Amino acid sequence: MMLSILFVAVGGFFGAIARFGVSNWIKGKYPSSFPIATLIVNLSGSFLLGLIIGANLAHSLQLLFGTGFMGAFTTFSTFKLESIQLRAEKKWKSLVIYLGITYTIGILFAFIGIRLGTIL
């Protein structure tokens, strides 16, 4: 049990740092009122988590990379907050695009990741 907690904690530590770094890099490179950084992080995270699950890794590696790293790398709470902010600012087009892409492409990327993971 303690080893499982350690795997999740270590993965989460590095996942949070990776999200922070990737998000800041994207925001610096592509400044916009559209939440592109969160979108890219969450879409790539959907694909990578699918890949991890599809690859049927050992339980300890699923805890480290799936639960820990990807759990901290992707950010459902920021996605929800940014959606609420877009609504509050009445940026309806951006809101619909953000929600549509996040949900549809996110699920598609997870599916592709799982399929690819089973092949690898």
**Of 61, 41, 43, 39, residue with least CA distance to 52:** 61
- Any known ligand binding at 71? yes
Has 45 been labeled as part of a binding site? no
Nearby residues of 10 by Cβ (< 8 Å), 6 or more positions away: 64, 68
Residues in the annotated binding site for Na(+): 71, 74
Residues in the annotated binding site: 71, 74
